[in-house]
Amino acid sequence: MKNCVFTGAAVAIVTPMNEDGSINFDALGRLIDFNIDNGTDAIVICGTTGESSTMTDEEHIECIRYAVEKVAKRVPVIAGTGSNHTEYAVNLSKKAQELGADALLCVTPYYNKTSQAGLVAHFTAIANAVTIPIILYSVPSRTGVNITPETCVELSKIENIVAIKEASGNISQIAKIAAMCGDDLAIYSGNDDQIVPVMSLGGKGVISVLSNCMPFETHEICQLCLDGDFKTANEKFLRLLDFANTLFCDVNPIPVKEALNYMGFEAGPCRLPLVEMNDKNKELLKESMRKLSIIK
């Protein structure tokens, strides 16, 4: 069995911004500590929830550097280094390894997409350039390309490709990946509303937006699944389902940053082209949070 980096709940952490759009590293540090203090099993820095697509190269590298130093080996740090330009992804992945990241999260190429053979070539090039573990990221609703189970089998033959963040929403596909890859490719749910279903198929946890706001509860659900207590896990999971879904009432990460602002974490605004939620969705989000006593 390969080292799958972590089991449980990893937070796809937001990147707090100041009002002028610069990165608020103090707020990022507080959010990292809040998550680790409340049971988060790994920190994903510069993922898509972290607005990595709007960062300059210097900001991306500085965020990874900051997270590695702030976490200080308390949990694994997983750096988002994916790109639709293979050479760029290779160079960023090498830099993340140099900075001390424990693993990489690499999204499929977007817009130019590529074929399944192209995916194999793309991820192989990244894997050959580094020695740390790689988690593939399949999110076809965002990128326009899906990693098929057959391609997962091919990629799982590469030693340091150890897992996939599966956010297709297709449970049948996830089951097929589990059946075909077995212990050669760990599966993490990429959707908070599918934590228990994915883990019931053998998934090792979740890479979570929900964990930004509810790290203890998300970790607890995953741990219950890992312990085989799916009945209790499902009860707790269903209690949080409305809030988990409401965090996607607008384009991610707009709602989760709004929620964190309500909680006092100074997540700030998103960078353009993402804009502020409308008043209707703000009230929907607040009501969902009040039901769970996250805010008064």
**Residues involved in catalysis:** 137, 165
Q: What angle do CA 101, 103, 108 make, to 5 degrees?
A: 120
What does the DSSP 8-state code read for residue 276? P
Length in residues, the chain: 296
* Phi, psi values for residue 105, rounded to 5°: -115, 120
**For residues 200 and 230, is the Cβ–Cβ distance under 8 A?**
yes
Q: What is the dihedral of CA 139, 71, 5, 153, to 10 degrees?
A: 30
155-180 burial: b if 16+ Cβ within 10 Å, else e: bbebebbbbbbbbbeeeebbbbbbee
